[in-house]
Chains A and B, each alone.
Chain A
Amino acid sequence: MKQTINIPLGSQHIALLEPVRFKFECENEKIIGVDSDVGFVHRGIERACTTKFKFDSIGYVVARVCGLCAITHSLSYTVAIEKLLGGEISKKAKYLRILLLELDRIHSHMLCLSHTCENAGFEAMFMRIMGDRELVMEIQELLTGNRVQFDYISIGGVNRDLNSTVALKIKENLYEVKQRVLGYMDEFTNNWSLSLKFKGIGALSLDDAYIFNAIGPLARASGLNIDVRNEIDYLPFDEVGFLMQTHSDGDINARNLVRLNEILNSILMCENIINGLPEGEIFTKIKGKPNGEAIVRFEAPRGELMYYVKGNGTAMLDRVRIKTPTFASIPAFSHIFVGQDYADAPAILASFDPCLSCTAK
């Protein structure tokens, strides 16, 4: 006789932001097997990139893959094309690109933290973080002209310059966000609902993180020193004060703390960029048609994002392949669930910060 029971989570569930289906095989309360399906929001973007759009407009197409890390997608694609065309962009454009990338990381991490609070049953904290996230959304709108779809990056540089009033506003708002985040640090370490309840739940050991190829905050919370910002040279992350944030516990609480520390580091980087923004042009015209292959990696808020672009010397590309962070982390996700209580599953899932529209694209 069968001893286990299958319980589905999703594809629509109160604890999920986006559609994903998990099938948990449970023995009493314990999960002993996981099966997942992530393809609910497939839109055929990779195919559209090679059949419908010319290479110079694909930067705007791939930005629509995901609303939270739109900037990382368009940036990765643009850098890949710049590599193929062989152009060099100005230092100021590079700094402005990092500025928006880090602002994007701050608001994405804040969304994840608020969602974690909601799943812990702490609605008031959820509202507080979402309210404070508006401070970041506001400066993103001032800088780029839109809240979510920034369309800020084009092949050869960036589309808008940073003027002094916007710079001042960014500094003011970031100072405010910093004070709030320091407040959250206290809540996330001392509040029972957010820290003690999460300690030891959904833990991933350092060895397992290595074996299951974990990336992003998930890996860094287990003590794995892995961050693409440390490894690439297309953007000068080392000049603006990037510091890797790691933790050794590997549980939900550790992931939350890594995200909080990353927000603080991103705020520091943004302040450094605004204080030391070099003079120069924001846009350099790059001519030609892409020919050959290029691979570009970037650190999205959820981990490593990889773009492979193949051109054939015409305006239409041969292939655009997107490997998203959530897709790469699925083996690690599935491993973490095994041995946990079913009741903890939504909280563990929220702590991964999965982005399904990225994964299904």
Chain B
Amino acid sequence: MFSSFAKAFTNLFKTPQTIDYPLTPIEQEKEHRGLIEYGQEACIYCLKCEKACPPGAILFVPVENPPENEKNKKGLKYHYNPYLCIYCSECVRACPKPDEALWQSNKKSLPATKEDRVNESWFELERLKKQTD
């Protein structure tokens, strides 16, 4: 009983385990698995990342004005869905030029609003991809 009184007394002077969130920012781990980033100039359009991605969050879809890159013979454009991505970095491991064409950052994805049409625009891309296959 005395020990519990002593413990209760010392607990009065302890710092809290929680942080004062908006005033104190959350510490971001350097090695946190976050969004996948893409370097269009270095990409060789081998589509290995698209095949490796477990949830299918990377799509290369043919567009009218494709990005200028001599390796891009089929006129494809890279699309990435951060809301579908599970941040497993299978794509980065599959990439022949990691760190230049595809790498993992420690950024977190922002919440989307209805105006962003996250689902609808992605379903359109998936339909387009199916048509070209």
- Seen from chain A, the residues whose Cβ lies within 8 Å of a Cβ on chain B are 53, 56-57, 60-61, 131, 134, 141-142, 144-146, 149, 151, 154, 159
Instruction: Please give the distance in Å from B104's CB to the nearest CB on chain A.
Output: 8
Knowing A57-B90, A151-B88, say if A145 contacts B54 (CB, 8 Å). no
A141 to B93 CA separation, bound complex (whole angstroms): 20
Listed by A's residue number, 26 A-B pairs whose Cβ atoms lie within 8 Å are A53-B54, A56-B52, A57-B53, A57-B90, A60-B54, A60-B86, A60-B88, A60-B90, A61-B54, A141-B29, A141-B32, A142-B29, A142-B31, A144-B33, A145-B29, A145-B31, A145-B33, A145-B87, A146-B32, A149-B86, A151-B33, A151-B86, A151-B88, A151-B89, A159-B88, A159-B89
- Asked if B17 is at the interface (CB within 8 A of a chain A CB), the reply is yes
A60 to B17 CA separation, bound complex (whole angstroms): 32
| Chain B neighbourhood of A142, CB < 8 A | 29, 31
Return the CB mask of B8-50 against A: 1 if under 8 Å, else 0.
0000000001000000000001011100000000000000000
Q: What 3 pairs across the A-B complex have the smallest Cβ distances?
A: A57-B54, A145-B33, A151-B88
A57 to B50 CA separation, bound complex (whole angstroms): 13
A60 to B86 CA separation, bound complex (whole angstroms): 9
Instruction: Please give the distance in Å from B20's CB to the nearest CB on chain A.
Output: 16
The main secondary structure of chain A at its interface with chain B is helix
| Chain A neighbourhood of B32, CB < 8 A | 141, 145-146
| Chain A neighbourhood of B33, CB < 8 A | 144-146, 151
A154 to B93 CA separation, bound complex (whole angstroms): 11
| Chain B neighbourhood of A149, CB < 8 A | 86
State whether B29 touches A154 (Cβ < 8 A). no
Counting chain B CB atoms within 10 Å of each CB, the highest count among A56, A141, A146, A154 belongs to A146
State whether B54 touches A131 (Cβ < 8 A). no
Name the interface residues of B41-99: CB closer than 8 Å to any CB of A.
52-54, 86-90, 93
Knowing A141-B29, A141-B32, say if A131 contacts B88 (CB, 8 Å). no
A50 to B99 CA separation, bound complex (whole angstroms): 33
A142 to B33 CA separation, bound complex (whole angstroms): 10
State whether A134 touches B17 (Cβ < 8 A). yes
| Chain B neighbourhood of A61, CB < 8 A | 54
| Chain A neighbourhood of B93, CB < 8 A | 154, 159
Instruction: Please give the distance in Å from A146's CB to the nearest CB on chain B.
Output: 5
| Chain A neighbourhood of B89, CB < 8 A | 151, 159
| Chain B neighbourhood of A134, CB < 8 A | 17
State whether A131 touches B86 (Cβ < 8 A). no
Instruction: Please give the distance in Å from A153's CB to the nearest CB on chain B.
Output: 10
A61 to B17 CA separation, bound complex (whole angstroms): 34
A40 to B38 CA separation, bound complex (whole angstroms): 40
State whether A151 touches B29 (Cβ < 8 A). no
A115 to B41 CA separation, bound complex (whole angstroms): 53
A144 to B53 CA separation, bound complex (whole angstroms): 18
A151 to B53 CA separation, bound complex (whole angstroms): 13
